[in-house]
Amino acid sequence: MPAPQERDLNKATEDFKNWLINEKDQDASIIVEVLGGPENTGFSNETLSFNVTQDAETTGYVLRFHPSGFLVFPEYDIEKQFLIMKELSGFGVKVPEVVWYEPSEKFLDSPFYVMKMCEGEAPSDNPPFHSEGWLADSSEEVRRKVWMGWVEQMSKIHKVKVDSKFNFLSSGKDSRPLDDDLSYYKEFYDWAIEGESHSVLEETIDWLEKNKPDADSDQYSIVWGDCRVPNIMYKPDGEVSGVLDWEMVALGDPCQDLAWGIAIDDCNSDGINVPKLQGIPTRDETVKKWEELSGFHAENFNYYYIFSIFKFAVIMIRVVKKLEYYEIMPPGLNAHIDNHASQMLAKVIKEI
């Protein structure tokens, strides 16, 4: 199902053109053409793509907005996303080229940043790329290259030295990052569930609290957050062209990223009874390669794997409610409680 489009595209096109002319000194003769938003992903953000033509030369731009409609996350820091891509571009991470950040909502109704469009295409979230799409139609060699491209980019992010340039990622607290993350998602759950109960998630909260890894095993780096294959743009040959979607970026144990990418992929394949594509490396091979490239350990992988599916199930509560709000999904199906994420979580919790 498509992500809801919350903006008047004609108005957005005209407003963006005026912003370019009046705020960025672009020539008044520019032609701005809207290309639309992502069709198969992007439920938690607002994104639009444009072609801007001047003197017969066309440049593709992507605008990411601070959400102005139904929120999936309880908070959303659009400037942080701009800053992390700007900083990581100097460390060999293939982030898009970010061009401008606009903090005011007076131009396009909400703050936004602008980045140059990347070549290629991201594997589909909806339907999952294991079932159909360009990656399913590719060779096993390309599939392996795509997966390992994710591992390589993730590892580069984790190897970046955290210094004062990344103070904008700091929570300002002296507490353990894992404790902060748990507190955040428990509050997120309370906000999302709106007084209902969810036995699977509540059981998992208890498990996560009681089974936290020893603090002595903690590692520390930049954590991409929504770290997975469908948040990367690839060229047709499987080469990475853009590392995207930084709304969950933070500081903490990098094993979270490894676990998240594998856990969400499992939910979107095993969790819906879709076989994984041939050529995709196994979990063990992926973990081994990440440890080799990043220099970090995956000692606490199983804990973060469960935590990842819990986070996904919490996020799915709001994603389903958003789809119902915009009448893309009919209400009354109880899908905010019972979905592939919560079903996978129930299975995993039962097995431990």
Residue 123: is the preceding peptide bond cis (ω within 30°)?
no
* pLDDT classification of 4: cutoffs 50, 70, 90: low
* pLDDT classification of 7: cutoffs 50, 70, 90: confident
Mean pLDDT (the chain) is 95
Token pair 């309370």: residue: 190
Q: Which residue has the higher pLDDT, 325 or 6?
A: 325
What's the confidence (pLDDT) of residue 235?
97
* pLDDT classification of 244: cutoffs 50, 70, 90: very high
* pLDDT classification of 3: cutoffs 50, 70, 90: low
3-class state of residue 81 by DSSP: helix
Contact status, residue 128 vs residue 274, Cβ threshold 8 Å? yes
Report the pLDDT averaged over residues 164-185: 95
Distance of CA 74 to the CA centre of its chain: 15
What is the rounded distance in angstroms from the CA atom of residue 254 to the CA atom of residue 156?
11
What is the rounded distance in angstroms from the CA atom of residue 195 to the CA atom of residue 320?
16
What's the confidence (pLDDT) of residue 2?
52
Domains defined along the chain, listed by start? 9-116 (3.30.200.20), 140-351 (3.90.1200.10)
Phi/psi for 27 (5° steps) reads -65, 145
Q: What is the pTM of this model?
A: 0.95
Report the pLDDT averaged over residues 54-82: 94
What is the tens place of the pLDDT at every residue in 202-219? 999 999 999 999 999 999
Please calculate the CA angle 199-201-203 and round it to the nearest 5 degrees.
Answer: 65
* pLDDT classification of 42: cutoffs 50, 70, 90: low
* pLDDT classification of 39: cutoffs 50, 70, 90: low
Is residue 293 scored above 60 in pLDDT?
yes
Report the pLDDT averaged over residues 218-237: 98
Report the pLDDT averaged over residues 299-313: 98
3-class state of residue 82 by DSSP: helix
